[in-house]
Structure 1
Amino acid sequence: MEHGALSLIPPILALLMVMFTRRVLLSLGVGIIVGALMINQTQDMMINESLNLIISIVTGIFVVDGGINTWEFYIILFLLILGIIASLVTLTGGARAFGEWALKRVKTRTGAQFVAGLLGILIFIDDYFNSLTVGNVSRPFSDRHQISRAKLAYIVDSTAAPMCVIAPVSSWGAYIITIIGSILVTHGVSQYGALQAFLLMAPMNFYAIFAILFVFAVAYFKLDFGSMRTHEQRALETGELVDKSKGAVPGGNDDMKPLGNGRVGDLLWPIATLIVATVIFMITTGIQGTEGEKSILATFENTDVAAALVYGGLVSLAVTVVITILRKIPVKQFSLGIWSGIKSMLPAIYILVFAWTIIEIIGELGTGEYLASLVNEHIQIGYLPVLLFVIAGFMAFSTGTSWGTFGIMLPIAADIAAVTDINMLLPVLAAVLAGAIFGDHCSPISDTTILSSAGAGSHHIDHVLTQLPYALIVAFISIVGFLVLGFTTNVFLALLAAAAAFVAVIFIVNACIRGIYGKAEQQ
């Protein structure tokens, strides 16, 4: 059954409930139930059928054709492994030692935020890996500089997906290049290949570029406003890194006390092992999955990211266990550390399962197809990039999946460009990529947003609400760039216009903050 505009009801209802109730699981649950009832509205036993649908979807997340659905299962397994590693590193004193080491070298709060941002740029292989690793590595020194967890989650989230979407050697890059390749073949475009097209589109992805730059601008100019300012002021004045009125962060293991005189290596060795081993397994699984000629692009196109994360995580866990044994941690405390690590990741897993379920419900309702149908060729060509940016943004926001948005919107954007002006192909494809990342940043049901909260140790709703204004500002800057790109098709002029808007926004926001809060607080 076609639901048209009504297909927007479940995601919008869930999003509104999240913002007003600040109870993520309850809100997602209501969206799931409403969506299931809509799907089965013509059934005689609507409630029973709806419950059966929900059960089948949740079961289908983990079981397909009688076997394990390895992607979702491995992602959850990796979360549990990473939670255990983080807990044991805390237990051995490695996290504390790293915090003390970093405190001697990173002298300011601005410097600590810069380091977290640079880590987000450097670890670009995969967004899941980025969000969880950067958050866990950065926490020791960001906590010492009294940076709120909401601020850390913003830094992590706003460098993870934006870097992955413009890096060709990443799980995202391989996926996008594969789609682009089929688009080029379909429309007979031969002047550039898929990889070259991806590289040409990278400077047109204004949202990804300026989201990363804005992270450093926010840190340097102290552009904290709205609820982000509330969190930062609380952290500075009271040392409370999270809003304690909401209770402890679900699954947080901040009460885990170090039992050993840890060393910096107790944290760095597990993390370095995790990074190296994961990359090795990504290459290995990619080679195994590649038929015919082997190449770097083909390897990353066919890599099994979820499996690589689990294999790399297990190797890192083995190293962590050895370090724990060498530090002579008692068996009882070792067992409690493992359980604490598992508990720390359970809230993120609950939210992920609910988010995956509502994404399936939304897919059944045809929400993505309805949003895509709003785009047609009967519009001014110059407005195409902006329109596709907005549509892709709203689709990713509503569905919680940027990859799903890529899969639906990139072919549609290419079809429109083929009908109107084939020279607009790369600009409209870049607009879709940028819009999907924007919507992903705003959506509380986005898995990357959920994992950024988990990695940083932030209340999920706090991360969503504090990041939203910053994402909207970068979206405005991106719209300026896409307007110029649409009417000139000149990438340099478009980048220049977006850069000018970026500078103007920083100046205006900084002036407003000084005017509202006073110059004294900016010192």
Structure 2
Amino acid sequence: MEEITVLSLLPPALALLMIIATRKVLPSLGAGIIIGALLLNDWAVLPSVSLIWETFAGIFVSEGAINDWELFIILFLLILGVMASLISFSGGSRAFGDWALQRVKTRVGSQLITLIFGILVFIDDYFNSLTVGQVSQPLTDRHKVSRAKLAYIVDSAAAPICVLAPLSSWGAYIITIIDDILSNYSEIPYSGLQAFIYMLPMNFYAIAAILFVFLVIVWKLDIGSMRKHEERAIVHQQLLDPSRKNVPGDQAQDLDTHNGSVSDLVIPIIALIVSTVSIMVFTGVRAAENVTALTIFAETDVARSLVYGGLIGLGASFLLTLGKRPSAVNVIKTSWNGIKSMLPAIYILILAWIIVTIIDQLQTGEYLASQIDDSISVVFLPALLFVLAGLIAFSTGTSWGTFTILLPIAGEIAGVLDLSMILPFLAAVLAGSILGDHCSPISDTTILSSTGAGSHHIDHVVTQLPYAILTAIGAFAGFLVLGMTGSTLGGLSTALLLILAIGFYLKNTVTSLPQN
């Protein structure tokens, strides 16, 4: 396939339609992979099989060396699974649930604490999604909050807060790209970091997503499929759909759990967080030529830091478990249960990485980006770029890939049409990328949010989609106002007021489920 055509949209579209129709993620991703490989090889079967195998092998070995990104993410998932299983086995999860239950009296409170924790852990989205979900599970489980609802809260705080934080892996990466774009225009008097700060109030989707999840929690706005999950959790005490099996990342309660204490959970989690952040800073300092707070997070080795920090957290949980004097057989079985609990998520993640690689070779993102018409009025371009970035991120499953493709294009458009609009254009791309990330079933952040929360992935995708679309409506209106008036305050006010109006409407039209 030499020419970029509309057919490049076929693999992600097929995968999405099959996921919606069958509610089976793995076969759907597999179908998208096969069609994509066939398109790349002009429908020749053997070369397509070879391409799929090479792409799969590249997850583990690349250019004759260990692929220390994808492989380390898989290792971190396995480490986290074993760690969670040991914490549960030692009684830490139960003790933390009992302790939290005495202090957090309501379902709303348990959800708000999860949201606050997600906002505080802004260093990295992978770290955020997995850690916040694992820590919050014992509390939200005790208050009978469905795992789908937990996954939505986790996901709504992960990417949005990371894209707003300069001192995060996301912020550093974005600032680096923006700095390169702005260097082409001598008349722009500010740096990439300054531009990033100026753009923060223009990232309407990220801000609105955090506001909307707060409203969903406080006003109990359970709509669509989410309502079914929440009703099942409250009325029938079932946190998951009982018709589904193999929950990714679920904390195993097998074997005999011990009478643990809160420290059995808190100490390993603190060890994990402190050591991971410390190693991120250390690897960033070693790699950076000019050491600043920004360059540290721009150059840090996130995947390696997660693995090393995970091993330290696992070591702490292992030592605390040994203090209960369990049998060796039970420790081994518990560890194996932790590994098995992560396998469904790893299978989904591997297939997502394969289809993303194939979509990248099909140049799906480039095709969508090429559809921008230069004749469109600059007034509508912020809203258009927001939608286009959402489509690219949704189709490719990657926010960062969308940043790489569309940010330079948005900068070039501003340079040609109206350089004063460069920041609104760039902000619209960032906001749309988060929207697409939230909606895409092949987004690694979405997959890991499901994993951290112990939710079935398809349940998380389907229940989050209506909230993401409603948030997108508010953000889209904000970008229209921003394009028409040039006022950041006007655009942000429009987006947030519309989100409040949508929330207030739902509050008065949707009957709230009973709460405690």
**What is the TM-score with the length of structure 1 in the denominator?**
0.96
1:512 offset after TM fit, Å? Answer: 2.2
Q: Distance in 1 between matches of 2:205 and 2:187?
A: 26
1:366 offset after TM fit, Å? Answer: 1.1
Tell me if 1:354 matches 2:355.
no
Which of 199, 203, 206 is the matching residue for 1:205?
203
Contact 1:203 1:491 in 2 (8 A): yes
Q: Distance in 2 between matches of 1:248 and 1:317?
A: 23
Residues 348-390 of structure 1 show CA distances to partners (whole Å, capped at 9, x for unaligned) of 1111110000011111111010000011332111111100000
Which of 168, 192, 195 is the matching residue for 1:194?
192
Residue identity over aligned pairs, in percent, reads 57
Which of 244, 258, 264 is the matching residue for 1:246?
244
Contact 2:205 2:471 in 1 (8 A): yes
Listed as ranges, the matches of 1:150-169 within 5 Å are: 150-169=148-167
Contact 1:113 1:155 in 2 (8 A): yes
1:259 offset after TM fit, Å? Answer: 2.4
1:510 offset after TM fit, Å? Answer: 1.5
Tell me if 1:428 matches 2:429.
no
Q: Distance in 2 between matches of 1:521 and 1:333?
A: 40
Q: Distance in 1 between matches of 2:345 and 2:150?
A: 17
The one-letter amino acid of 2:215's match is: A
1:473 offset after TM fit, Å? Answer: 0.4
* Greater mean alpha carbon deviation, residues 29-38 or residues 317-326: 317-326
Residue aligned with 2:145, SS: coil
1:74 aligns to what? 72
1:513 offset after TM fit, Å? Answer: 0.7
Which of 281, 284, 288 is the matching residue for 1:283?
281
Listed as ranges, the matches of 1:437-452 within 5 Å are: 437-452=434-449
Residue aligned with 1:161, SS: helix
2:365 aligns to what? 368
Listed as ranges, the matches of 1:252-271 within 5 Å are: 252-257=250-255, 259-271=257-269
1:247 offset after TM fit, Å? Answer: 3.2
Q: Distance in 2 between matches of 1:137 and 1:462?
A: 20
Which of 481, 496, 500 is the matching residue for 2:497?
500
Q: Distance in 1 between matches of 2:513 and 2:341?
A: 39
Residue aligned with 1:245, SS: coil
The one-letter amino acid of 1:15's match is: L
1:143 offset after TM fit, Å? Answer: 0.4
- Which residues of structure 1 form unaligned runs of 5+? none
Residue aligned with 1:249, SS: coil
The one-letter amino acid of 1:389's match is: F
Q: Distance in 1 between matches of 2:141 and 2:255?
A: 15
Contact 1:376 1:416 in 2 (8 A): no
Q: Distance in 1 between matches of 2:105 and 2:192?
A: 44
Q: Distance in 1 between matches of 2:432 and 2:489?
A: 20
Q: Distance in 2 between matches of 1:97 and 1:377?
A: 61
1:216 offset after TM fit, Å? Answer: 1.1
1:329 offset after TM fit, Å? Answer: 2.0
Residue aligned with 1:375, SS: coil
Which of 48, 62, 65 is the matching residue for 2:63?
65
1:37 aligns to what? 38
Tell me if 1:47 matches 2:45.
yes
Which of 113, 123, 131 is the matching residue for 2:121?
123
Q: Distance in 1 between matches of 2:252 and 2:338?
A: 11
Contact 2:90 2:324 in 1 (8 A): yes
1:4 aligns to what? 5
Contact 2:15 2:32 in 1 (8 A): yes
1:177 aligns to what? 175
Residue aligned with 2:122, SS: coil
The one-letter amino acid of 1:322's match is: L
Contact 2:8 2:362 in 1 (8 A): yes
The one-letter amino acid of 1:451's match is: L
The one-letter amino acid of 1:10's match is: P
1:258 offset after TM fit, Å? Answer: 5.2
Residues 124-178 of structure 1 show CA distances to partners (whole Å, capped at 9, x for unaligned) of 1110000000000000010000000000000000100000000011000111011
1:252 offset after TM fit, Å? Answer: 3.4
Q: Distance in 2 between matches of 1:355 and 1:228?
A: 24
Contact 1:235 1:241 in 2 (8 A): yes
Q: Distance in 2 between matches of 1:298 and 1:338?
A: 38
1:225 aligns to what? 223
Residue aligned with 2:42, SS: coil
The one-letter amino acid of 2:129's match is: S
Contact 1:90 1:257 in 2 (8 A): no
Contact 2:81 2:249 in 1 (8 A): no
2:459 aligns to what? 462
2:306 aligns to what? 309
Q: 1:520 to 1:218 in 2, by over 3 A?
A: closer
Q: Distance in 2 between matches of 1:426 and 1:329?
A: 59
1:484 offset after TM fit, Å? Answer: 0.9
1:137 aligns to what? 135
1:255 offset after TM fit, Å? Answer: 3.8
Q: 1:94 to 1:520 in 2, by over 3 A?
A: closer
Q: Distance in 2 between matches of 1:511 and 1:124?
A: 33
Contact 2:41 2:48 in 1 (8 A): yes
1:246 offset after TM fit, Å? Answer: 2.1
1:188 offset after TM fit, Å? Answer: 2.7
Matched positions, count: 515
Tell me if 1:385 matches 2:382.
yes
**What is the TM-score with the length of structure 2 in the denominator?**
0.98
Residue aligned with 1:246, SS: coil
The one-letter amino acid of 2:18's match is: M
2:27 aligns to what? 26
Contact 2:284 2:299 in 1 (8 A): yes
Contact 2:182 2:192 in 1 (8 A): yes
The one-letter amino acid of 2:42's match is: Q
Q: Distance in 2 between matches of 1:356 and 1:248?
A: 21
Q: Distance in 1 between matches of 2:191 and 2:468?
A: 32
Residue aligned with 1:186, SS: coil
Contact 1:207 1:478 in 2 (8 A): yes
- Which residues of structure 2 form unaligned runs of 5+? none
Q: 1:165 to 1:148 in 2, by over 3 A?
A: same
Runs of 4+ in 1 over 4 A off after TM superposition: 519-523
1:489 aligns to what? 486
Q: Distance in 1 between matches of 2:319 and 2:288?
A: 35
Contact 1:2 1:365 in 2 (8 A): no
Q: Distance in 2 between matches of 1:107 and 1:466?
A: 26
1:112 aligns to what? 110
2:145 aligns to what? 147
The one-letter amino acid of 1:510's match is: K
Residue aligned with 1:70, SS: coil
Contact 1:396 1:443 in 2 (8 A): yes
Q: Distance in 1 between matches of 2:477 and 2:513?
A: 33
1:330 aligns to what? 327
Contact 1:386 1:431 in 2 (8 A): yes
